[in-house]
Amino acid sequence: MQTVHSVSQVREYVRGWHNKGLSVGFVPTMGNLHEGHLSLIKEAHARCDVVVVSIFVNPTQFGPNEDFDRYPRTLDADAAALVDAGTDLLFAPSVDEMYPLGQNQTWVDVDNLGDYLCGASREGHFRGVTTVVSKLFNIVQPDVAVFGEKDFQQLAIIRRMAEELCFPVKIVGAATSRESDGLARSSRNGFLSESERKLAPRLYRQLQQLKADIEAGERDFRALEKRHGEALDQAGFQVDYLTIAEARSLAPAGENDTNLVIAAAAKLGQTRLIDNVSLAVVRTP
């Protein structure tokens, strides 16, 4: 595996591969890699001849009171894991390399989809994500890019952005990777105390219970959100949102919607966890 830090070096490698007719898969990350990231890399390998991974903790997607400074930076361990995973190129740029003119003046922003779920409480977050992902797509010029379904809203927004801006890249969603107790793998799980870690899988269980309630015929979505949100609060979470959304628009689902995602964000202490489950509702005539 080669590790490079500059835009021009990435372009040189990728140009060489494309000239040889090789397809390039891309997995953008913020590092602190875990098995979830490795499953994305595996997916990229299954679809492409070579795989590029970026590690960049992107400042423009963190709000002023969020965890940019304490976000774990573990480049040496990450690079070792990437070698084991058969990665061809690691792009690990500095903030200056990605934002050479300082404060960004050019933004990529997707309307509407960013207004709901995490977007409602993390102002500017998705604008930071879409801006940096656009830059990374322009730098790496991949044929395929793989993102985790744990970040359901991020994936939906990136799909929309890539389609509307005609990026010549296929966006692939990979299933959420989970610990044996169901907790969705996340770099932020490392912040959980022992007791918080024990409680954390409850989030996924609650979403599954809600899904089971819908499958059993309950259709008052707002009442279900309230009941299951309160149950999480009582268990010790601070719920940011628990929403039954229409899976394409991400707007709160109505009783006639059939393609649903149940998504939640909740804090345990200082650690914000997100998770989601999808379901298709069969409408009875």
Q: Which residues of the chain form contacts with ligand PAF (CB under 6 A)?
A: 28-30, 58, 61, 129, 132-133, 151, 154
- Cα–Cα distance measured from residue 67 to residue 214, given in angstroms and rounded to the nearest whole number: 35
The CB-of-50 to ligand PAF minimum distance in angstroms stands at: 19
- Cα–Cα distance measured from residue 228 to residue 205, given in angstroms and rounded to the nearest whole number: 10
Look up residue 273 and give its two tokens.
Answer: 């966890």
- Cα–Cα distance measured from residue 250 to residue 59, given in angstroms and rounded to the nearest whole number: 25
The CB-of-85 to ligand PAF minimum distance in angstroms stands at: 16
- How buried is residue 72: exposed, middle or buried, by Cβ count under 10 Å (0-12/13-18/19+)? middle
| Closer residue to ligand PAF in complex, CB, 44/133 | 133
Q: Do the Cβ atoms of 150 and 275 come closer than 8 Å? A: yes
| Closer residue to ligand PAF in complex, CB, 117/232 | 117
| Closer residue to ligand PAF in complex, CB, 97/213 | 97
Look up residue 183 and give its two tokens.
Answer: 């907790």
CA atoms within 13 A on the CB side of 34: 14
The CB-of-185 to ligand PAF minimum distance in angstroms stands at: 12
- Cα–Cα distance measured from residue 90 to residue 278, given in angstroms and rounded to the nearest whole number: 33
The CB-of-75 to ligand PAF minimum distance in angstroms stands at: 15
| Closer residue to ligand PAF in complex, CB, 79/133 | 133
Residue of 166, 210, 217, 167 whose CA lies nearest to 28? 167
* DSSP letters spanning 186-199: -GGGGG--HHHHHH
| Closer residue to ligand PAF in complex, CB, 151/240 | 151
Q: Where are the alpha helices (DSSP H) in 192-275?
A: 194-199, 202-215, 221-235
- Cα–Cα distance measured from residue 199 to residue 62, given in angstroms and rounded to the nearest whole number: 26
| Closer residue to ligand PAF in complex, CB, 25/28 | 28
- How buried is residue 223: exposed, middle or buried, by Cβ count under 10 Å (0-12/13-18/19+)? exposed
Output the CA–CA distances (angstroms, integers) from residue 194 to 197, 232, 282, in the order listed. Answer: 5, 18, 41
The CB-of-129 to ligand PAF minimum distance in angstroms stands at: 5
The CB-of-132 to ligand PAF minimum distance in angstroms stands at: 5
Residues noted as catalytic: 37
